Structure 1
Amino acid sequence: MDVAAASTAAGKSSPAPLIAVVGATATGKSDLAIALAEQLGGEVINADALQLYRGMDIGTAKVTVEERRGIPHHLLDVLEVTEEASVSAFQRAAREAVTAIRSRGRVPILVGGSGLYVRAALDEIEFPPTDPTVRARLEQRAADEGVGVLHRELVIADPEAARTIGSHDTRRIVRALEVVELTGRPFTAFLPRPVHHDASTVQLGLRLERPQLHERIASRVHRMVDDGLLEEIRSLRGRGLDRGRTARRAIGYEQGLAVLDGTLGCDQAIEDTISGTRRLVRKQDTWFRRDQRVRWLEADAGEELLPRAIAEIEAAVTAHGGHRP
């Protein structure tokens, strides 16, 4: 099958579809993406925010070089743990990767469960500017006056944002007020719209019954510990993990740091990591299931999963106006 050679019914050349494999943690997204890349002549683009970080391998279930089976992977290991991930920077990098992959006659395959990062790569999203001085001033006010004062200001400046942002969510309240101050527009004006930036996008979602998914999560966490997660965290601490605003709060890493500090026992850290991952899965399910454009596949379909995924891609390409690949 030559997806990259798909063309419009009118005979004009059209780009290879942008395939996205999305869904909750532990559903097997990476495995499917690699299998699709092998079958379709593709390259993989990471859309997991934590897999952007160098050295955060075991705790993020990052595919190893061997597991990649020679398939090029992009946007893995591009940040130090002391850096803060930026959705807008990721958007630019992901779209550049898509263009470069297509220029090589290959099929771009985006894979990940970080909902906003997936949306940034796929949809029409405008990112408002930031100003460290403005943000620092607002953060200081939240500390001095209480976040409730800022939330009441947000109610006046952007009532819709105030309704959706919790009154104790300092980070998001500060960001919303920062946007209003810098742009004169409400923060909600910059929220994602369900319109694909690339008309040839095909979204495949993997789903699994919750009991099965919970079993996979528990097994994965125990395997991470056996594979040396605590040693990985100890090594990353030496590279500044404690200073990383994003990295240090990652599920599993936050608990591991507490174990190293002696404030949390190993068994409790494992249980906290499992429960935290289950909460993440619920959020991921909510995020992706409300997107009516996702074509859902059963993650436990075994050998039938790949042909079913390819059939969905073929159907989508045809629906977009191209010949079936």
Structure 2
Amino acid sequence: MALQPLISVIGSTGTGKSDLAIALATRLNGEIINADAMQMYTGLDIITNKHPVDERQGIPHHILGVVPITEEIRIGQFRDRALDIIADIHSRGKLPIVVGGTHYYLQSLLFNKTASDGNDSDDGNGGTATANIAEERYTMDELVAKYPVLNASAPELLAKLEEVDPVMAARWHPNDTRKVRRSLEIFFQTGRRASELYAEQEVTARFNNLIFWTHSDKVVLDKRLDDRVDKMVTRGMFDEIEQLYGLYKEQLEKKEVDLTKGIWQSIGFKEFLPWLLAPEEEKTEKLKEECLVRMKLNTVQYAKYQTRWIRTKLYHMLTATSTPMYLLDTTDQSQFQVTAVTPALRIARSFLEGGEMEDPRGLNEAAANMLSAKTEKDFGENMEGWKKYTCETCEITTIGDEKWREHLGSRRHKKKVAGKIKWEEIVKLRAAREARLKAESESKEVVAEDSDGDLMN
């Protein structure tokens, strides 16, 4: 049975994904499914960068602003809901178009490599770490009761994983307790190492996929993202921040707020906590500006992370399933119609009509560079490639060659090394001085003994 067509638009934040998806939907009788995790929450349209309603050109947008901000959306919930919506769109003879930058959510939808089990966490394999790789033998409560180590401290969890599955233990950062524990759960549930199970998995596509990657030059994109944050401020971002802060204080009265889950992950709130929590007399404009700078920096870093995910994880799955991905250069926004919309429509129509597909690397110069055979190493494919480095000087651990090189070149590391060298020199000088003083003292004692001997004679 032939797979149904599905077009997806991916890319870093600020590269024009939504604009392209709407352009495609208006011309190809399509409807849009949102795959941006933060945009699934209700309200907070400015902080989560929802595309304005008046710019959607009447195109239906699904899974957009539907989850209460007091709840936590999970990958499995998104995937199941999106699959139902896509089936409905197909049944009405229309084209589903998925758009969003939460790329591991997207992967759970497009491919059958893994499915979610309600304990969703990114496993680094382009999907979620799941126990349904094999049949579950216990409920979670039964599993914890049988293996109490699952409630142990982070060092104990890692030590146990190093014992039963050293490959996975070497893969995770020591502080990434969630992933360490998940690897142990899989081992206890299945009786087999998670590293072995992942290695055996085959990637298959759920749909006849076509991927468009909107990409902008980093320097241009960084400036665009900074400007976008400034525009968010003028549109009323601080009203939404105050709204979230009210919820934050309300939830804090009941339990600790985990800023790594749910709506709290969104860029635009936690960056301002130092300002929000400061006493009134310390809530200066300078502190507020520092928080704004931090928000801009985190936005740029997130865009970099999204690009890396495409190149190192998604690209592997696309290759494994022979899924075409076309990079559209959206650096010059004034040329968006020419560099993005026109080629995307041409390629999409050929795809839907079963025509011959163009070579993705020949579309533009950026595509030739970014989609070349020499891509960054995919660690989801080669689990032995995850190297763990520990810097004794800075007392931190990094995963992968790139992160290690970044650390070695960082100002913090160099300052610490310089300080350590200086301290070691001081210690050596002190030791030499103490040795010299000791030698001089011993020499004086010998002279004194000789003098006493002469007097006795």
For the aligned pair, the TM-score class normalised by the smaller chain equals: 0.7 to 0.9
CA distance change for structure 1 residues 15 and 150 in 2, over 3 Å: closer, same or farther? closer
- 2:38 counterpart letter in structure 1: L
1:303 match: 337
What is the identity percentage for the equivalent residue pairs of Structure 1 and Structure 2?
Answer: 31
- Report the RMSD for the aligned CA atoms in angstroms: 2.8
The whole-number CA distance in structure 1 between the counterparts of 2:221 and 2:79 is 29
C-alpha displacement at 1:315, in angstroms? 3.8
CA distance change for structure 1 residues 138 and 109 in 2, over 3 Å: closer, same or farther? farther
Q: Structure 2 matches for 1:143-292, cutoff 5 A? A: 147-188=154-195, 189=197, 194-198=203-207, 200-239=208-247, 243=257, 245-262=261-278, 265-290=287-312, 291=315, 292=319
C-alpha displacement at 1:66, in angstroms? 1.2
Larger deviation, residues 200-209 vs 60-69:
60-69
Name which of 115, 124, 127 aligns with 1:126: 115
Query: With structure 1 as the length reference, what TM-score do the two structures score?
Result: 0.84
Q: What do residues 128-155 of structure 1 show as CA deviations (whole Å, max 9, x unaligned)?
A: 464664679667522xxxx122112122
The whole-number CA distance in structure 1 between the counterparts of 2:104 and 2:308 is 13
Q: What do residues 148-187 of structure 1 show as CA deviations (whole Å, max 9, x unaligned)?
A: 2211212233333223211111222223223333343444
2:407 match: none
Structure whose alpha-carbon radius of gyration is higher: 2
- 2:17 counterpart letter in structure 1: K
Structure 2 stretches lacking a partner, 5+ long: 120-138, 358-457
- 1:262 counterpart letter in structure 2: A
**Counterpart contact for 1:101–1:107, Cα < 8 Å:** yes
The whole-number CA distance in structure 2 between the counterparts of 1:178 and 1:62 is 37
Question: Is residue 2:110 matched to residue 1:79?
Answer: no
The whole-number CA distance in structure 2 between the counterparts of 1:193 and 1:224 is 43
C-alpha displacement at 1:88, in angstroms? 1.0
**Counterpart contact for 1:22–1:113, Cα < 8 Å:** yes
C-alpha displacement at 1:223, in angstroms? 1.1
Question: Is residue 2:348 matched to residue 1:313?
Answer: yes
- 1:150 counterpart letter in structure 2: L
- 1:149 counterpart letter in structure 2: E
CA distance change for structure 1 residues 193 and 24 in 2, over 3 Å: closer, same or farther? farther
Larger deviation, residues 94-103 vs 125-134:
125-134
The whole-number CA distance in structure 1 between the counterparts of 2:191 and 2:355 is 38
Name which of 91, 100, 119 aligns with 1:103: 91
Question: Is residue 2:325 matched to residue 1:294?
Answer: yes
Aligned residues: 305
- 2:44 counterpart letter in structure 1: M
The whole-number CA distance in structure 2 between the counterparts of 1:178 and 1:67 is 46
C-alpha displacement at 1:298, in angstroms? 0.7
Query: With structure 2 as the length reference, what TM-score do the two structures score?
Result: 0.61
2:53 alignment partner, SS class:
coil
C-alpha displacement at 1:60, in angstroms? 1.5
Q: Structure 2 matches for 1:56-67, cutoff 5 A? A: 56-67=44-55
Higher relative contact order (CA 8 A, sep 6+): 1
**Counterpart contact for 2:8–2:98, Cα < 8 Å:** yes
The whole-number CA distance in structure 1 between the counterparts of 2:111 and 2:37 is 17
**Counterpart contact for 1:126–1:190, Cα < 8 Å:** no
2:37 match: 49
Question: Is residue 2:152 matched to residue 1:141?
Answer: yes
The whole-number CA distance in structure 1 between the counterparts of 2:43 and 2:150 is 30
CA distance change for structure 1 residues 114 and 212 in 2, over 3 Å: closer, same or farther? same
C-alpha displacement at 1:87, in angstroms? 0.5
CA distance change for structure 1 residues 78 and 249 in 2, over 3 Å: closer, same or farther? same
**Counterpart contact for 2:10–2:214, Cα < 8 Å:** yes
The whole-number CA distance in structure 2 between the counterparts of 1:176 and 1:204 is 33
**Counterpart contact for 2:241–2:268, Cα < 8 Å:** no
The whole-number CA distance in structure 2 between the counterparts of 1:55 and 1:78 is 9
- 2:162 counterpart letter in structure 1: V
**Counterpart contact for 1:52–1:77, Cα < 8 Å:** yes
The whole-number CA distance in structure 2 between the counterparts of 1:52 and 1:183 is 33
The whole-number CA distance in structure 1 between the counterparts of 2:183 and 2:345 is 41
**Counterpart contact for 1:180–1:187, Cα < 8 Å:** yes
The whole-number CA distance in structure 2 between the counterparts of 1:103 and 1:87 is 24
**Counterpart contact for 2:74–2:118, Cα < 8 Å:** no
C-alpha displacement at 1:30, in angstroms? 0.6
**Counterpart contact for 1:24–1:113, Cα < 8 Å:** yes
Structure 1 stretches lacking a partner, 5+ long: 1-11
2:22 match: 34
**Counterpart contact for 2:150–2:184, Cα < 8 Å:** no
- 1:218 counterpart letter in structure 2: D
